[in-house]
Structure 1
Amino acid sequence: MTDYRLTTVETVREAGSWAFTAREGDADREVFLVPCVDEPGETQDGEGPVRAWINRCTHEDQRLYREDIGAVTRGGSVVCPKHGSAFDACDGSCDNGEAAGTTLREVDVAVRDGAVFLTDDDLTYLYEELPDDDGDDEGPSSSSHLTF
């Protein structure tokens, strides 16, 4: 498989997140990128500066990245807009809320010369952004407990 150039680390950092759609077998998968660390050039535990995750909360089938707001991040975590569970941006783990004890599904990417490449053998890049909402993700039914 040939690595596919997705975007730049700078674009992900400036926007806070970046999304694309890929094919896995017969199914389309939504994927989003988030910065793993705050400072350019830094790494955490040998990881690269950008990580990629399947765009679904592990507790309930909700998008973590939404076209109108991107991925909500706070303190190095990606926050589920429905229940407030926070997933570590670098390792995908969650230790609070409804999704505690679970981990986001990782997608393999690599960074070379400031560019982010899809390197996951199970996924084929389709297009930037996400498909239109098909009605299965109505958004948060309650977010009164969340503050962003």
Structure 2
Amino acid sequence: MTAQDTPADLPFFVYGTLRPGRCNHDRLLRGRTVAEVPATWPGAVLYEGPGYPYAVAEAGGGVRGELITVAPGAYGPVLAALDALEEYRPGDPRNLYERIPCEVRVDGGGTARAWVYVAAERLARRLRVTGTVVPGGDWTG
């Protein structure tokens, strides 16, 4: 399934500078959400990056973050702002991040489908070989 095949109004799973209390959350999400719930994406591993982390979809890990539900009426502008922040352009081979759907476990029980920005495949291949895994999958940068 690709980003183009998935309903656009999914919540977002964030694990780096978009988490509550971080610089990009304050700048792009504050006041534009209706829920921010701790969650884990078990289908990924988190790698250190230059100033920010990269999640890589792969078994055997777990990335900690928050499930962010955007307020009605703010979804389009938030989606555009997050895509711009991550420099994500659908189908562009120069992307460092791709936006994909994932299944996260919400603290307290249950699961949710969400958008997540992950390392693009060419970068993910390099990280798997030479990257530094973030211990416990929880970035505190």
Q: Same fold (TM over 0.5)?
A: no
The structure with the largest alpha-carbon Rg is 1
TM-score of the pair, normalised by structure 2: 0.29
- Give the TM-score normalised by structure 1: 0.28
